Chain A
């Protein structure tokens, strides 16, 4: 490389002569420069005052350095002047042009977004021929992958007139038409009909056939190759283990379609012969054969064999994996093939049992380690057990403190010691929720503020350093909520749950307190629940009630001489059971509510108070895999809530119809039974599409016919929002009908739902399952009704509805959603209650 270029009026450097030493007197940088000349000069590594040899390596090294930066398209170093041993250097740099902007033509906005992220050219970055070339190839490939085989891409570099040494890139993409499949023909197939083979080809389908109406007709070679593999797999599953694609041809037509011909060689059908086991010492061969559930004479099905050996929950290999044999392996080998029968030898390598040594927890940057460790079923000193590991992952995701899609247990085996370390890698998830809502209704503002901290640490409440911004990490739940309309209604609630009371056993303790005051208004009557929930949840896992939207009610004036005050307190205790199995939980709760009324004409009695002391026992079983987007498992609960049966031991006669309500309901009595069940089942192989089936029902009974409880009734219909509601009733949602519209009324005009039934089917499909947002769509059909009395009860008289909706879970705001549903059945006396209805949902799962 020529180190110094001789130019007019600059000193002549002789390359033939002996190199001479000079001292650099000055360095000047020239050219079209975007960067500071000083910075550019520094890049050369040459310094003023440095002694260099000319011609020599110093100069060529400097030039090499510039090339390495890749920022310049032309580099020259020359001497402006030489005075004695002083040399004045001139570095000429031609920088590569920088990108002003990219203009796309021929593409949709969404396609541009897809692409521009990946071609990694940013405004202001340098445009090199390599980058342009790569972008062109990338874009073309992108569309070919989507079935646009004839895509043409051209990239033109255009100077930016406003900024020197800047360019625009004009990217023109002509996708042409998609290549579609004109015909798909199979040859050599006897076992499967053409129709069946067509069905196996999931992504490669003929156009113009009604059967393929909902299927893609594009030709994408990658998908096509996968489909061919599927076809062979299907043959293998039917015992045709020799089946292969003999030939396939794809011919292009002028109208952008292809004709596909596939020649199959099916071979003959095979059956399982004798299956023998070698190398097994732990389990006898016949036992393993029984577990394999494949008999001699069964059709030879490789997929089934793999599933029964390794994949199913009760696969043969899991016998070993669940009993410490972490290093074990089973290799099926064909030892004899005669006629149509294959004898298999299962070569078992058992290895030694691995004991768990250390259990390491990583990624808990907020949650204290003991909150995680106490939940782990894999403990030091125990044999490695794959099923316990899987169960632990499920339970960690239930905790709610970690991203359920990102729990990653890594076994680190040490074959020499016969031990394995388990490392649980977790990612913390923001789990606290804030609810701040406001609405305008009845000529006044209704606002509420709710805070729910799910990873609170009470013991750090006096530790100043822990307030960052709140003491967290002990997995306790604290929720606070206040709601007011500023004029005549206020409510406050507080609840706290410690999931491991005392830290030694997972016995939970929940305490909640609430109070609401409502002063009178001059409005005559209204029904339903103009306020949303007062209590988020009673301590369990429930959602967080919210206030959203519908605050409409007729304008009312305040009347301070009238009021209703409700005060409540409850204490609950939960225990995990190990029988009938360890998914069961038992919950018991005592609670007390006091209703204090003064000149109150809207409900029950005008003056006096009513007390409700009740006990609740609930048996539940929960085996769902993930609380946010549930795919597998079920959730059942059976509850009984009852008050002491005062009627049986006090001698008062309640049959007198003139008895004042304030006396009749001084102490409320009832017994209430509820049943709820949800079952989740994935419908596709990727476990994305999930079916939820739901059955629930309840019954509110009395001890004395003349002393029926005015509280704790079921209010059916609508969005089902609210945990604790206005007059101590339980709100059950039924979409497609107005709120509370499916609730019967008694002679006094009060809601009187004593029995209810509800069934629902819901299909869910996730749109995104990122930790920052979980979004899924749903389709549902449901039916339900409520009745006053057993005499009216008709399990077939359900009101039906169907609809669609979407749910969004955001870490701070919790679950939100909107549903549209259509109620098919008329509601007597409420002509507008059914039909098309929108429902907003906050913090509750249907």
Chain B
């Protein structure tokens, strides 16, 4: 019978707590969490409850049980909004969602939850030393959302004319994403995708819409080279320009 087993069975809560903190400091979160889980209810209504609670949630986080850690950090923030640990807990809600957030091709509910949690954190504790870290993580989550919409736009672009005009859908999806996240690192890709989609739409257009669409493409071209004069897509963009201007000749 190990020492841990003895402690587990003991009813000496002070000892249990002391040992729990020891395990916690040593990084043995498995044991720490088992002890702390019990102590949270034992200490209900005392100062120690707060500490047991936050350390329990931290242990869960360190054990990568993020689904549970979100729950307990949230509960902590609700229960002890004025605690010294509340700031930390709010940050950790975001951090837990950050870990839960799956790759861009999957459901992004946790990503959105994470952004929301970090937003709340930065507005509640603007002077926290962790604000920079929160902003970085928030950015990463946002970029994931942009990447997701980039994939969607690209999919519509690739679907082409399958079951309707998918180029239009590609343009709308990419524009929505740029409106929502103007300073994304995918800005150039999204912008070129818009230009390219508009171009394909224009050259395959029915006659009465052709001129309009060509001019729209031309406008988009100027905006693009203006914003990305050094773009790696420049060659393709210029080809589009040449083709569009020559097609526009008959309207001038």
Cβ-defined contact, B105 with A379, below 8 A = no
Q: Which residue of A lies closest to B157 (CB)?
A: A504
Q: Decide yes or no: A377 and B107 within 8 Å by CB, A369-B152, A370-B151 being known contacts.
A: no
* Residue pair A369, B151 in contact (C-beta under 8 Å): yes
How near does chain A come to B76, taking the closest CB pair, in angstroms?
A: 18
A367: which B residues are within 8 A, CB to CB?
A: 106
* A47 interfacial contact with B, CB 8 Å: yes
Please determine whether A380 and B162 come into contact, CB atoms closer than 8 angstroms.
no
> For the complex, is B193 an interface residue (Cβ under 8 Å from A)?
no
CB within 8 Å of B: which A34-51 residues? 36, 38-39, 42-45, 47
> A381: CB under 8 A from chain B?
yes
Indicate whether B1 reaches chain A with its CB closer than 8 angstroms: no
Q: Is A369 a contact of B148 with CB atoms below 8 Å?
A: yes
Cβ contact of A358, chosen from B43, B105, B156, B176, cutoff 8 A? B176
Contact A364 B41 (CB under 8 A): no
Cβ A42 vs Cβ B107 within 8 A: no
Count A-B pairs with CB separation below 8 Å.
80
Interface flag for B44 (CB, 8 Å): yes
Interface residues of A in 359-389 (CB under 8 A from B): 361-370, 373-374, 377, 379-382
Partner of B165, one of A47, A363, A369, A381: A381
Interface size class of B (residues with CB under 8 A): 20 to 34
A24 CB → nearest B CB, Å: 14
Say whether A106 faces chain B, with CB atoms less than 8 Å apart: no
Query: Which B residues between 21 and 53 are near A, CB-CB below 8 angstroms?
Result: 41-46
- With A36-B11, A42-B43, A45-B45 known as contacts, the answer to whether A505 contacts B162 (CB < 8 A) is yes
Nearest-neighbor residue (CB-CB) of A506 within chain B: B162
Minimum C-beta distance from B99 to chain A (A): 14
Asked whether B119 is an interface residue with its Cβ less than 8 Å from the other chain, the reply is no
Interface set, chain A 274-305, CB cutoff 8 A to B? none
Stretch in B64-72, B82-90, B124-132, B167-175 with 4+ CB within 8 Å of A: B167-175
Which A residues lie within 8 Å of B105 (CB)? 368-370, 473
Cβ contacts under 8 Å, A361 to chain B? 107
Most buried by B among A47, A363, A380: A380
Contact, CB under 8 Å: B106 / A369? yes
Q: A357-B172, A358-B176, A373-B152 are in contact. Are A365 and B107 (CB under 8 A)?
A: yes
- How far is it, in angstroms, between the C-alpha of A362 and the C-alpha of B102 when the chains are bound? 13
Chain B residues, CB < 8 A from A415: none
Chain B residues, Cβ within 8 Å of A364: 106-107
A366 to B106, CA, bound (A): 7
Is residue A503 within 8 Å, beta carbon to beta carbon, of the partner chain?
yes
Given contacts A365-B107, A369-B105, A381-B172, contact A504 B152 (CB under 8 A): no
Q: Flag if B173 contacts A358 (CB, 8 Å).
A: yes
Taking a contact as CB atoms under 8 Å apart, the answer to whether A379 and B46 are in contact is no
Alpha-carbon distance between A47 and B48 when the two chains are bound, in angstroms: 12
B229 interface contact, C-beta 8 A? no
- Minimal beta-carbon separation of A411 from chain B (angstroms): 16
Are B162 and A362 interface neighbours, CB within 8 A?
no
Picked from A36, A45, A369, A374, the residue with its CB within 8 Å of the CB of B42 is A36
Contacts of B158 in A (CB 8 A): 503-504
Alpha-carbon separation in the docked complex, A504 to B160 (Å): 8
Q: Is the CB of A380 within 8 A of B156?
A: yes
Contacts of B63 in A (CB 8 A): none
User: Across the interface, do B159 and A374 meet the contact criterion of CB distance under 8 Å?
Assistant: yes
Q: Take A369-B151, A377-B163, A381-B168 as given contacts and tell me if A42 and B102 are in contact as well, using a CB distance cutoff of 8 Å.
A: no
B191 at the binding interface (Cβ < 8 Å): no
CB <8 Å contact, B155 and A373: yes
In the complex, residue of chain A having the shortest beta-carbon distance to the beta carbon of B104:
A369
Answer yes or no: B228 CB below 8 A from chain A CBs. no
B-side contacts of A368, CB under 8 Å: 105-106
Chain A neighbourhood of B107, CB < 8 A:
361-365
Q: A362-B107, A366-B106, A504-B159 are in contact. Are A382 and B42 (CB under 8 A)?
A: no
Contact with B along A459-485 (1 / 0, CB 8 A): 000000000000001000000000000
How far is it, in angstroms, between the C-alpha of A294 and the C-alpha of B166 when the chains are bound? Answer: 40
Distance A368 CA – B104 CA, assembled complex (angstroms): 9
- CB neighbours of B109 from chain A (8 A): 362
Shortest C-beta distance, B71 to chain A (Å), equals 18
Q: How far is the CB of B181 from chain A (nearest CB, A)?
A: 14
Complex: chain A residue closest to B105, CB-CB = A368
Q: Which residues of A contact B104 (CB under 8 A)?
A: 369
Contact flag A379-B169 (CB < 8 Å), given A368-B106, A369-B148, A369-B152: yes
- Does B13 interact with chain A (Cβ within 8 Å)? yes
A39 with B159: in contact, given A357-B172, A363-B107, A380-B173 (CB under 8 Å)? no
Which residues from chain A contact B45 at a C-beta distance below 8 Å? 42-45, 65
Chain B residues with Cβ under 8 A from A374's Cβ? 155, 159
A365 CB contacts on chain B under 8 angstroms: 102, 106-107
**Given A374-B155, A374-B159, A473-B105, A380:B11 Cβ within 8 A:** no
Complex alpha-carbon distance, A39 and B41, angstroms? 8
Shortest distance between the CB of A89 and any CB in chain B (Å): 15
For the complex formed, measure the closest distance between the CB of A384 and the CB atoms of chain B, giving whole angstroms.
14
B241 to chain A, nearest CB (A): 24
In the complex, the chain A residue whose C-beta lies closest to that of B13 is: A38
Counting chain A CB atoms within 10 Å of each CB, the highest count among B109, B148, B158, B163 belongs to B163
Q: B155 contacts A42, CB within 8 Å? A: no
B 103-158 contacts with A by CB, 8 A = 104-107, 109, 148, 151-152, 155-156, 158
- Closest chain A residue, CB of each to CB of B49: A42
B169 and A381 contact, CB distance less than 8 A: yes
Find chain A residues with CB under 8 A from B169 CB.
379-382
Please measure, in the bound complex, the distance between the C-alpha atom of A366 and the C-alpha atom of B165, giving whole angstroms: 29
Q: Give, as a whole number of angstroms, the nearest-CB distance from A377 to chain B.
A: 6
Shortest Cβ distance from residue B46 to the other chain A in the assembled complex, whole angstroms: 5
Cβ–Cβ contact A370 & B163, under 8 A: no
Contact residues in A for B46 (Cβ distance below 8 Å): 42, 47
- For residue B106, which residues in chain A have a CB less than 8 angstroms away from its CB? 364-369, 473
Complex Cα spacing A45 to B46, Å: 7
Q: What are the nearest 3 A-B pairs in CB distance?
A: A381-B168, A380-B172, A368-B105
Extra 7 A-B pairs, beta carbons < 8 Å, given A38-B13, A42-B46, A362-B107: A36-B11, A42-B42, A45-B45, A368-B105, A369-B106, A369-B152, A380-B168
> Can you report 12 A-B residue pairs in the complex whose CB atoms are below 8 A from each other?
A38-B42, A42-B42, A43-B44, A65-B45, A357-B172, A362-B107, A367-B106, A369-B106, A370-B152, A379-B156, A379-B166, A504-B158
